[in-house]
Amino acid sequence: MTTRNNNKKCNKEEIQATKDFMNCEKKWPALSPQTSVDKSEELLEKLNQLNSKMSRLESIPNQISNMASTLKTVSIEMQQLQMEMKGLREENNSLKEKNQLLEKKISYLEFDINDLEQYGRRQNLEIQGIPMSDNENNAETESKVLTVLKKIDENISHDDIDIAH
């Protein structure tokens, strides 16, 4: 009977150990086999996410290098544009000065032309009130003008009139 009791006792111990293990799973679910698999999968997912982030982080130095290169290129182009703009400003100022000089010259030339025109008309005389016909030529006009002028001064001759029209 003793042997049998030992078997029963052993069975009871096994049953108690199983119960304790079950209670242990309830108290600490992380210790259960299914939880371990779930945690492993979760850890693998987290590891994959970290690897993905690391690969993106590893590309940052290249991106920074590319940005620095682009910035250097833009800076050089900007300097070239500034130099070109400086040259254009200088050219513009030069052209403004030249334009002012030309405007002064034009003003002086207009004045000189006006003087020459006045000088050319210094002997001109405009007489109003003499009837004119549409088909009248210069000789007929001169003859009419001479007739009017002789009433003022008898000494005026055909040679005193340059042109009549």
- Phi/psi region, residue 43 (left: phi>0; alpha: psi -120 to 50; beta: rest), is alpha
- The answer to the question of residue 132 being in a domain is yes
Flag whether pLDDT at 108 surpasses 50: yes
- Rounded to 5 degrees, φ, ψ at 72 are -65, -45
Question: What is the rounded average pLDDT for all residues in the chain?
Answer: 82
- The answer to the question of residue 161 being in a domain is yes
Flag whether pLDDT at 5 surpasses 50: no
Portion of the chain with pLDDT greater than 70, in percent? 79
- The answer to the question of residue 31 being in a domain is no
Write the burial class of residue 158 (CB in 10 Å: 0-12 exposed, 13-18 middle, 19+ buried): exposed
- The answer to the question of residue 111 being in a domain is no
Cα–Cα dist 54/73, whole Å: 30
Structure tokens at 105: 């010259």
The pLDDT confidence band at residue 94, using thresholds 50, 70 and 90, is very high
Structure tokens at 16: 């108690």
Average pLDDT over residues 25-38: 59
Flag whether pLDDT at 32 surpasses 70: no
Question: Model-level pTM?
Answer: 0.45
Tabulate helix, strand, coil % of the chain (nearest 5): 80, 0, 20
Asked if 145 contacts 164 with a C-beta cutoff of 8 angstroms, the reply is yes
> 164 lies in which domain range?
125-165
Structure tokens at 48: 């994959």
Average pLDDT over residues 82-86: 97
Total tally of structural domains belonging to the chain: 1
